[in-house]
């Protein structure tokens, strides 16, 4: 079967094998884009592009893992090391409420000075003050840190966090789930098997999870294919065993500007990003939603991504420190108006959604853009 037949197979709804996915990397971008967009139109509302109003909160930058690609973390002795107080976190949530958002994405470093009780008390504190707040927080890396600190298994830790108010565990820290690639970029980083083990535990408990991928470590088509097939297999398992699964897939490019990987890892061009995104759409046949990433490559590439398989524009991220510290595209957050403008200009109808991709409302772009109202959605 030639690569063009593989495209037909994917558009026809058939699952691709490993060698078929690999063959897609040799195809020109326009062919991949056309097939990926066709599959996106089949799977999601063809005219609509969704987005989410949310806020990132990085509760601590103290971290003992020390990934070479990370410019965000600090050792506990560094002057600008911080851990936010509960009150400071609540203030950030308050600001989110003022613009109509009800979801925080809260992640931080692996900080051994924070016991499990600190996390449990934080979740209870926030849920008490903001009963309708949705808290998607902590990555498999942070849960692994808590396993090491407490001697408890991820299942137990996650259960206790859920009882205290946790709604979901985003899938950060996936990067490329191939240990040879991870070993070079961050030897102490969570290993592939542990990442899947902890995500599996979260999915078994009914927690929201998100699948992600970061390209640009110097990995090739083989590693990218392995990553995508691993996520697809986990999605099959979660759907079948737990009637759960990843809510979506998000692709990012590695930012190395201010990190120790500068000059050592190649990063990824917009061309590579769009190609890998299209291949992801054709490979991940059990995912409905793919996000376009504007923080790493800017609004224009994110708009193009809407024709390479993505159906979602991500979120406002009112605050984001990890990508920006590493040298992102100069954007750390976007307003609703900006996101709506990008979606409309790209030729789609914007829809505000929740983290589970349920549409909440269709903002009126005319009112939003012409009357200059910044955030009239609440
Ligand atoms: S990426 Fe996460 S785990 Fe790695 S050093 Fe940065 S904060 Fe720590």
With respect to residue 376, please indicate whether it lies within any of the assigned structural domains: no
Q: Name the closest-CA residue to atom 3, ligand 1.
A: 65
With respect to residue 256, please indicate whether it lies within any of the assigned structural domains: yes
Instruction: Kindly tell me the burial class for residue 270, based on how many C-beta atoms sit within 10 Å of its own C-beta (0-12, 13-18, 19 or more).
Output: middle
With respect to residue 27, please indicate whether it lies within any of the assigned structural domains: yes
Instruction: Kindly tell me the burial class for residue 298, based on how many C-beta atoms sit within 10 Å of its own C-beta (0-12, 13-18, 19 or more).
Output: middle
Does the structure show a pLDDT above 70 at 174? yes
**Who contacts 300 (Cβ-Cβ below 8 Å, separation ≥6)?**
none
> What burial letters (b/e) apply to 57-89, b meaning 16+ CB within 10 Å?
bbbbbbbebebbbbbbbbeeeeeebebbeeeeb
Does the structure show a pLDDT above 50 at 373? no
With respect to residue 10, please indicate whether it lies within any of the assigned structural domains: no
Q: In which element (H, E) is residue 32 found?
A: helix 29-43
Q: Name the closest-CA residue to atom 2, ligand 1.
A: 109
Work out the average pLDDT over 189-213.
Answer: 97
Specify the CATH number for the domain of residue 267. 3.20.20.70
Distance (angstroms) between ligand 1 centre and the Cα of 66 equals 6
Distance (angstroms) between ligand 1 centre and the Cα of 260 equals 13
More confident residue, 257 or 206: 206
pLDDT score of 377 = 36
Q: What is the pLDDT of residues 7-64, one digit of tens each?
A: 999 999 999 999 999 999 999 999 999 999 999 999 999 999 999 988 999 999 999 9
Distance (angstroms) between ligand 1 centre and the Cα of 50 equals 29
Question: Ligand 1, from 72, 114, 327: best to mutate by most atoms within 8 Å of Cβ?
Answer: 72
- What gap in Å lies between CA 81 and CA 63, rounded to an integer? 9
Cα–chain-centroid distance for residue 243?
21
Question: Ligand 1, from 60, 61, 109: best to mutate by most atoms within 8 Å of Cβ?
Answer: 109
- What gap in Å lies between CA 133 and CA 105, rounded to an integer? 11
pLDDT score of 326 = 54
Distance (angstroms) between ligand 1 centre and the Cα of 73 equals 6
The DSSP bridge partners found for residue 353 are 359
Q: What is the pLDDT of residues 318-369, one digit of tens each?
A: 654 555 555 555 555 778 888 999 999 999 999 999 999 999 999 888 877 7
With respect to residue 240, please indicate whether it lies within any of the assigned structural domains: yes
With respect to residue 183, please indicate whether it lies within any of the assigned structural domains: yes
- What gap in Å lies between CA 72 and CA 60, rounded to an integer? 10
pLDDT score of 366 = 80
The parent domain of residue 324 ranges over 21-370
Ligand 1 neighbours by CB, cut-off 6 Å: 63, 65-67, 70, 72-73, 109-110, 141
Task: Please give the mean pLDDT across all residues of the chain.
Answer: 91
With respect to residue 32, please indicate whether it lies within any of the assigned structural domains: yes
Q: If pLDDT is split at 50, 70 and 90, which confidence band does 92 have?
A: very high
With respect to residue 16, please indicate whether it lies within any of the assigned structural domains: no
Query: Six-digit token pair at 155?
Result: 């299942």
Work out the average pLDDT over 62-81.
Answer: 93
Question: Ligand 1, from 69, 141, 143, 185: best to mutate by most atoms within 8 Å of Cβ?
Answer: 141
Which value, in Å, is the radius of gyration of the alpha carbons in the chain?
20
pLDDT score of 191 = 97
The answer to whether the beta carbons of residues 35 and 278 sit under 8 Å apart is: yes
The closest alpha carbon to 360, from 101, 43, 167, belongs to 101
Task: Work out whether strand 359-361 and strand 209-215 pair parallel, antiparallel, or are unpaired.
Answer: unpaired
3-state secondary structure of 21: helix
DSSP state of 208: B
- What gap in Å lies between CA 227 and CA 22, rounded to an integer? 12
Q: Look at the chain and report how many structural domains it folds into.
A: 1
Distance (angstroms) between ligand 1 centre and the Cα of 162 equals 23
Distance (angstroms) between ligand 1 centre and the Cα of 136 equals 18
3-state secondary structure of 2: coil
Task: Work out whether strand 103-107 and strand 134-137 pair parallel, antiparallel, or are unpaired.
Answer: parallel
Kindly report which listed range (161-165, 333-337, 372-376) carries the lowest average pLDDT score. Answer: 372-376
The answer to whether the beta carbons of residues 281 and 308 sit under 8 Å apart is: yes
pLDDT score of 332 = 57
Kindly tell me the sign of the dihedral angle through the C-alpha atoms of 205, 159, 122, 80.
Answer: negative
pLDDT score of 171 = 75
Distance (angstroms) between ligand 1 centre and the Cα of 65 equals 6
Question: Ligand 1, from 64, 73, 75: best to mutate by most atoms within 8 Å of Cβ?
Answer: 73
DSSP code string of 194-251: HHHHHHHHHHHTT-BEEEEEEE-SS--HHHHHHHHHHHHHHHHHHHHHHS--EEEEEE
Distance (angstroms) between ligand 1 centre and the Cα of 156 equals 23
pLDDT score of 378 = 31
- What gap in Å lies between CA 321 and CA 113, rounded to an integer? 21
- What gap in Å lies between CA 95 and CA 227, rounded to an integer? 37
């Amino acid at each position: 079967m030639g690569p063009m037949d593989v495209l037909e197979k994917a558009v026809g709804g058939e699952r691709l094998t490993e060698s078929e996915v690999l063959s897609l990397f040799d195809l020109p971008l326009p062919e991949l884009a056309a097939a990926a967009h066709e599959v996106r139109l089949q799977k999601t509302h063809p005219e609509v592009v969704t987005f989410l109003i949310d806020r990132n909160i990085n509760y601590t930058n103290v971290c003992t893992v020390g990934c070479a690609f990370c410019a965000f973390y600090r050792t506990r002795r560094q002057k600008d090391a911080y851990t936010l107080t509960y009150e400071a976190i609540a203030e950030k949530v308050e600001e989110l409420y003022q613009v109509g958002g009800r979801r925080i994405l809260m992640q931080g470093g692996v900080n051994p000075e924070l016991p499990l009780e600190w996390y449990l008390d934080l979740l209870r504190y926030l849920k008490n003050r903001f009963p309708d707040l949705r808290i998607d927080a902590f990555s498999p890396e942070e849960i692994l840190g808590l396993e090491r600190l407490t001697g408890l298994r991820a299942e137990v830790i996650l259960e206790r966090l859920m009882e205290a108010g946790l709604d979901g565990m985003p899938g950060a820290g996936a990067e490329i789930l191939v240990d040879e690639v991870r070993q070079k970029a961050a030897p102490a980083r969570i290993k592939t098997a542990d990442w899947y083990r902890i995500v599996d535990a979260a999915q078994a408990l009914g927690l929201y999870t998100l699948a992600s991928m970061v390209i640009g470590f110097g990995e090739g088509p083989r590693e990218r294919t392995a990553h995508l097939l691993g996520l697809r297999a986990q999605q099959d398992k979660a759907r079948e065993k737990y009637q759960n699964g990843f809510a979506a897939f998000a692709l990012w490019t590695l930012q190395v500007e201010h990190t120790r990987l500068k000059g050592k890892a190649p990063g990824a061009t917009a061309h590579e990003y769009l190609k890998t995104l299209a291949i992801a759409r054709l490979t991940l046949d059990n995912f409905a939603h793919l996000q376009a990433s504007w923080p790493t490559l800017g609004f224009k590439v994110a708009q193009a991504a809407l024709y390479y398989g993505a159906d979602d524009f991500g979120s406002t991220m009112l605050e984001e420190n990890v990508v920006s510290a590493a040298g992102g595209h100069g954007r750390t957050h976007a307003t609703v108006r900006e996101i709506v403008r990008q979606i409309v200009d790209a030729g789609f109808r914007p829809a505000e959604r929740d983290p589970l991709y349920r549409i909440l409302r269709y903002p009126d772009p005319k009112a939003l853009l012409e009357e200059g109202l910044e955030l009239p959605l609440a």
